[in-house]
Amino acid sequence: MIVAIPATRKTNLITIAAFVMVIALWVKRYLIIIPTLETPALPMQDTRMEYVKYSATWPEWALTIAGIATFFLFFTLMSKFVTVVPVSGLEDTNQHHASQTETASAINEQVQPA
């Protein structure tokens, strides 16, 4: 919706919308997995009580946080070493460069005697 309206096509708004979508996807994944694990599909008569109710352990939380931190690390490194150039700016730069080259060659032809 933000990209559909030309007045809202700003980098900050699109970034915020993308961040909200990523959070929403993680919440959706949480809502799919955790209630399923909390409610057993089979009756459990002879099972210890700590296995009946699921709760995430510290290694599971640590792996989740490590995955998110790794993504942010690679994203930061890639944005540092890979230049982010908007495609819309490339066309203007190429036209400007071509016009400068033509002007420079015309000046060189006038300056150099034949």
Q: For residue range 41-66, what is the model confidence (pLDDT) as tens digits?
A: 666 666 666 666 677 889 999 999 99
The answer to whether 19 touches 8, Cβ cutoff 8 Å, is no
Pick from 49-53, 65-69, 98-102: least confident: 98-102
Q: How far is CA 48 from CA 12, 91, 101, in A?
A: 51, 67, 79
Better-scored residue on pLDDT, 28 or 93? 28
Tokens of 94: 């190429």
Task: Give the C-alpha separation, 11 to 92, whole Å.
Answer: 20
User: What is the distance between the alpha carbons of residues 70 and 92, in angstroms, rounded to a whole number?
Assistant: 36
Does the global pTM surpass 0.75? no
Determine contact, residues 14/26, Cβ cutoff 8 Å: no
Q: Say if residue 9's pLDDT is above 90.
A: no
